Amino acid sequence: MADASSVTECTYAESPSTDSAFRRLRTLPPGTERDQLRQETICAWLPMAHRLATRFRNRGESMDDLRQVAAMGLVKAVDRYDPFRGKAFETYAVPTVVGELKRHFRDHTWDVHVPRRVQDLRNRVRVARRDLTQTCEGRVPTCVEIAAETGLSEEDVLLGMEALDSYSTLSLDADLPGADDGYSLGDTLGCWDRAMDLAVDREAAKPGLRRLPERERTILYLRYFHDMTQVSIAETLGISQMHVSRLLSQSCEQVRLDALQGAG
């Protein structure tokens, strides 16, 4: 069974008329003869697929990758083409291959994933901005001018302009624009403050703590805020260490249950 990798190893030749080959493909049963004819037909049209791939060069993808993608589109076209509908194979194959190439750029070459609609807006804004720059004597066209040129709303134009920065991204190690001291983008990022987790826990525990008797609140305060041992707390309150241990366990469990109920 032919695939994109095996197709690229075919010997190129001028594409012969394959009408009869397609008709035979649709009538032959699965087997060696059909597989061979299918491979020969794909090889015959491969130069066309590669020519289509050159339309997308200089867009950040290597030609080898583009040819592979085009070959995948060609394989799909050969497998799906119905010669008995009366249309020439090339009429069906060209949009199939081009669609596969466009899909590749849409799904695999963006550094940040954005919806297809936004990608289309980005392309329209990019083309309009390029054309308007030539007529504006090098001046960057305004959002209003781009909207008038494309027929888009100003909101869609702004969305498309934001997407222009999503196609490729900068490394966090990249120097900041205008910085000459080695200060990088990564240096501008904050780090997670673990005290935030503690603050959330404290807020969740407050209602349960308020409902505890004063002695139990005092024991928790001395244990967890003054870091006193159970023995020291027992001596301070004039009770046994075993009693302190039991009250600590009961109080913590009560506060935990209150916090869970409050979250629910």
Output the pTM of the full model. Answer: 0.42
CB-based contacts of 149, cutoff 8 Å, min separation 6: 128, 131, 132, 141
Q: Quick one: how far is CA 215 from the chain centroid?
A: 55
Residue-wise pLDDT tens for the chain (264 aa)? Answer: 444 444 444 434 444 467 888 888 888 888 999 999 999 999 999 999 999 988 887 766 788 888 998 999 999 999 888 888 878 888 888 999 988 888 777 666 555 555 667 667 777 888 888 888 877 776 778 888 888 888 888 888 887 777 666 555 555 565 656 556 656 656 666 666 666 667 777 787 888 888 899 999 999 989 988 899 999 999 999 999 999 999 999 999 988 888 787 665
Q: Would 110-169 and 195-263 be classified into the same CATH topology? A: yes
Query: What is the pLDDT at residue 250?
Result: 92
Query: What is the pLDDT at residue 195?
Result: 66
For domain 4-108, give the fold.
Four Helix Bundle (Hemerythrin (Met), subunit A) (1.20.120)
Query: What is the pLDDT at residue 214?
Result: 92
For domain 195-263, give the fold.
Arc Repressor Mutant, subunit A (1.10.10)
Instruction: Give me the residue spans of the domains in the chain.
Output: 4-108, 110-169, 195-263
The class (CATH top level) of 110-169 is: mainly alpha
Query: What is the pLDDT at residue 177?
Result: 60
Query: What is the pLDDT at residue 239?
Result: 93
